[in-house]
Amino acid sequence: MKYKFLMLLLLVTLIVSACAPSVAPTETLEPIPKEEALEIPTQTEPAPQSELPVTSAWKAVRDVRYGFGLAVPCWWLVSPIPEQGFGGAMTITNYDEAYFMQHSNKGFWEWPNGTLKLDLIVMEGVDPAKSDTEAYMGFVDPSMTGMVSAEQQSIGGHTVTVVTLANLINTSDPHTRLFIHRLSPDKLLIVAPIPQTVIETPDFQAILASIVLSPDEQVALPTITPAPALINAPCIP
């Protein structure tokens, strides 16, 4: 039942001077009268470009149960994985309940104004001998979800399996991309962005690259400025 709960959660949730040559002294020269002195233009070299500073608009988030961490804009809301239970999901949003109520119609909305949600789902009981793709597909209902493609990418210093899935019930639905980390030999960390259009945004790409998988790894804050806040929450601790 717990596996089914995680799959239901996953389905429901379906982003950086040359120096002038010296002149050897010769004869003593008569000084040039001030009014006749020629003004020699100086050439100013452009200052070297420095790396962008780490912006204070980001914060590091760490899961206390499984040890993974990531960076998110500091005004985003984070719901941690419960400390008890089997697996679970960390949910991250850039909106709050008041914003949802204001922009939804009877609890339904079309993700307005760049709103988004990220679910980071931990799946336990994975067969260490299986690939990330095989292990993940072992948790889903093959009559409801089909594999379209899977490829490994190097993102943020880690190998990530990017899977593309098809909805076999509503075949007209667009495909869904998920990002799978091997959190440990028997655990997967699934990153599920909603809506899928956020995948190509700089914010999501920076967040994805910031993910670390153990408490020994430090979360590096991105050096880009995130999209403006949608809610009146200047940097929620």
Residue 55 is predicted with a pLDDT of 59
* Whole-number pLDDT of residue 51: 37
Are the C-beta atoms of residues 91 and 117 closer than 8 Å to each other? yes
Q: DSSP string spanning 71-135?
A: EEETTSEEEPPPSSSSSEEEEEESS-HHHHHHH-BTTB---GGG--EEEEEEEES--TTS-HHHH
CB 70 within 8 A of CB 34: no
pLDDT number for residue 74:
95
Mean pLDDT by 10 residues, the chain (237 residues): 44 38 39 44 40 68 95 96 86 96 90 96 95 95 96 95 97 96 97 97 97 95 94 83
Model pLDDT, residue 103: 93
The pTM for the full model equals 0.77
**pLDDT given at position 29:** 40
